[in-house]
Chain A
Amino acid sequence: MTLASVMRRAARLLLVLGAISIVTFGLLAVMPGDPALALLGPGATDAAVAEVRASLGLDRPLIVRYGDWLLSALGGDLGTSYQTGQPVVTSLADRFPLSIELVLVSQIVALAVAVPVGLWSARRPGGIVDRICSVGGLGLLSLPMFALGSLLVYVFAVTLKWLPATGIPSFGDDPLGHVQGLILPVLSLAGWQFAMYAQILRGEARTVLAEDYIETAVLKGLPTRAILLRHTLKPASLSLASLVPITTGELIGGAVVVETLYALPGVGRLMVDAIAARDLLVLQGAVLAVAVVFVMLNLFADVVVRWLDPRIRSHHAG
């Protein structure tokens, strides 16, 4: 990539980040009713309300308030939770690791199963593997994560009692318990991802397998394994990588659901609790943080696709 294209990309990223900050800030600003009252919750004293109003600077013009808010956000100050009195940034830092672990592990599990299944069913379109994969995939794609998760709880926690239904000890305290506690949440998250990846890969691999260059490779006498893994997977995985924005978005949403379902202390749970308690600064901070992470991940995926695909790579250099 040339310097110019890096600059263009960076400029675009800045614009998007700016817009994210405006939207997040705007959430509080356009909220119907008195934000101070909402922040403090019902039953707040008039004095407290007045104090919060002053500290929020609600009497000042919107643009000035936005400037202030942005400056302190950039400085790592997203306000304080009225519920716990903890700085929002601190609670975010506490909660992020578990969410990231959850998302990463389920992503890996989903991909590890989807790649062989997708390739295998593309190899013989209409064959048994292909049919199972397409019917099963459609089914899994149609089973929302909270429904799948509830079913898993019913089967493995309530009926079979193999795995815990809620909670997770930290890895340091109880490694085995941590892994056990992770299994159901990861399965709930990975189910949909797996189906998505397998379906896309299957479609892409089929298209690739019909390309002339596959026939060339076959008639070079390459073994089937090399045809599938080298000549098919690499081109087909390009579209898999370009799916990342969609699947990560889905995963982050899924993490909220799964953390609530299994009572796991992650960012998603933090947000749901904050909404229930109307702890709006926490919610605002979490939304901002999640959106920034999300945008960065997408940018990263985009860069990876560009790097993987030599056609795009040199197109941008040329």
Chain B
Amino acid sequence: MPVEQGTPSAATTVTSPDPAPAGTPARRGAGRGLGPGALVALGWLAGLSVLALLGDALPFIGDPSRMTSLPYEPPSSAHPLGTDEIGRDVLSRVVYAARVSLPIAAGAVAVAMLVGGIIGLLTGFLRGTVDEVGQWLLDVLVSFPPLILAMAVTAFLGRSPVILAVILGLLFVPPAARLVRTHTMATSTREYVVAARVLGASRIRIVFREIVPAVVPHLLAYAVLAASAVIVIEGALSFLGLSIPPPTPTWGGMITAARDGLAEAPHVLLVPVAVLFATVLALNGLADTLRSRLVETR
């Protein structure tokens, strides 16, 4: 689960608060270029999304639930990533599993950011009673370990993609709300916001012109991190057999099923693990880049 990290600072000696600015070249071209790592990550995520979208319109990808061959076939030209325990094409299955994971992650993140963002903005700006009540509600939400709550709710309410997206989204409302609240409070005591008040800006204007633009980048960086966490939790649920039921392929479900044939067909395990790992890594790496970018440019 994501956390806001402290800002590492490399300086070990005293730095002047006011480096000579006249003629100083802009330091480290802030804002331009994402660096090779982030580009690879973006490329992976975009590629995976395109594959999932196009699905069996592509060569090599077919119906993920059709048994087209013998079980546990190693990779071959017909099945580039081999077949699984009942002879289904592994490549088609990992690609189709992205059709489950990615939309659920997107939906959940949308829920979390929207609800959490609004709660955080309200509690952080209005303070007082609104804040007290809001904090208490969030306290209740975080008093269940995330996976347990997701398990229990899906067990009782059912496991449609919408329910999953909403419940997984709710899990990330508290951290999103806290993040937004913290930044809202910090920003509203920043001197440029106080200055705007003295200069006669209205409350609405302060919230939307001064605070929101300062907070949104932090929320977006967090959204990327939350997306990775949602994918992991959804993976755990499907690993436990509690997410979208079969025959729809899921990464977690594929990993569980690979268990029995590990000795003869490790590719059935390794392929979904690798795809899941790459996706989560890409999101985590992107989130890191975004965050350090935020820290640098303040």
Q: In the assembled complex, how far is the CB of residue A55 from the closest CB belonging to chain B, in whole angstroms?
A: 19
The reply on B152 being an interface residue by CB < 8 A is: yes
User: Knowing A151-B273, A256-B240, A257-B239 touch, does A294 contact B9 (C-beta < 8 A)?
Assistant: no
Interface of B is mostly: helix
User: Can you report 10 A-B residue pairs in the complex whose CB atoms are below 8 A from each other?
Assistant: A144-B232, A146-B235, A151-B273, A206-B6, A210-B9, A246-B1, A253-B147, A260-B240, A272-B240, A291-B148
B-side contacts of A196, CB under 8 Å? 3
6 closest Cβ pairs, A-B complex = A253-B147, A142-B281, A206-B8, A19-B140, A252-B145, A249-B145
A78 at the interface (CB under 8 A from B): no
In the bound complex, do residue B136 and residue A138 qualify as a contact, i.e. CB atoms below 8 Å apart? no
Query: Of all chain A residues, which has the CB nearest B232?
Result: A144
Binding site for A on B (CB under 8 A): 1, 3, 5-14, 136, 139-140, 142-149, 151-153, 155-158, 228, 232-233, 235-236, 239-242, 252, 255-256, 258-259, 262-263, 266, 269, 273, 276-277, 280-281, 284-285, 288
A143–B236 contact, CB under 8 A? no
Report the nearest B residue to A148, measured CB to CB.
B273
Whether B1 lies near A250 (C-beta < 8 A) is yes
Whether the pair A147, B276 counts as a contact (CB closer than 8 A) is: yes
Cβ A150 vs Cβ B255 within 8 A: yes
Asked if A248 CB lies within 8 Å of chain B CBs, one says yes
Are A249 and B1 neighbours in the complex by a CB distance under 8 Å? yes
With A20-B144, A23-B144, A210-B12 known as contacts, the answer to whether A153 contacts B239 (CB < 8 A) is no
Asked if A287 is at the interface (CB within 8 A of a chain B CB), the reply is yes
Please state if B155 and A283 are interface contacts (CB–CB under 8 Å). yes
What residues of chain A have their CB less than 8 Å away from a CB belonging to chain B?
12, 15-16, 19-20, 23-24, 27-28, 30-32, 125-126, 138-139, 141-147, 150-151, 153-154, 158-159, 196, 199-200, 202-204, 206-207, 209-210, 212, 215, 239, 243, 245-250, 252-254, 256-257, 260, 271-272, 275-276, 280, 283-284, 287, 290-291, 294-295, 298
* Complex partner residue of B288 from A15, A125, A138, CB under 8 angstroms: A138
Determine chain A's interface SS by DSSP, over half rule.
Answer: helix
A151 to B271 Cα, complex, angstroms: 11
Whether B143 and A294, one on each chain, are in contact in the complex, defined by CB atoms closer than 8 angstroms, is yes
Given A253-B148, A275-B151, A275-B242, are A19 and B143 neighbors across the interface (CB < 8 Å)? yes
Question: Which of chain B's residues have a CB closer than 8 A to the CB of A253?
Answer: 145-148, 233, 236
Pick the contact of A142: B6, B146, B155, B284 (CB < 8 A).
Answer: B284
Q: Which residue of A lies closest to B264 (CB)?
A: A158
Contact across chains for A203 and B8 when beta carbons are under 8 A apart: yes
Q: Which residues of A contact B255 (CB under 8 A)?
A: 146-147, 150
Q: Are A287 and B281 in contact (CB under 8 A)?
A: no
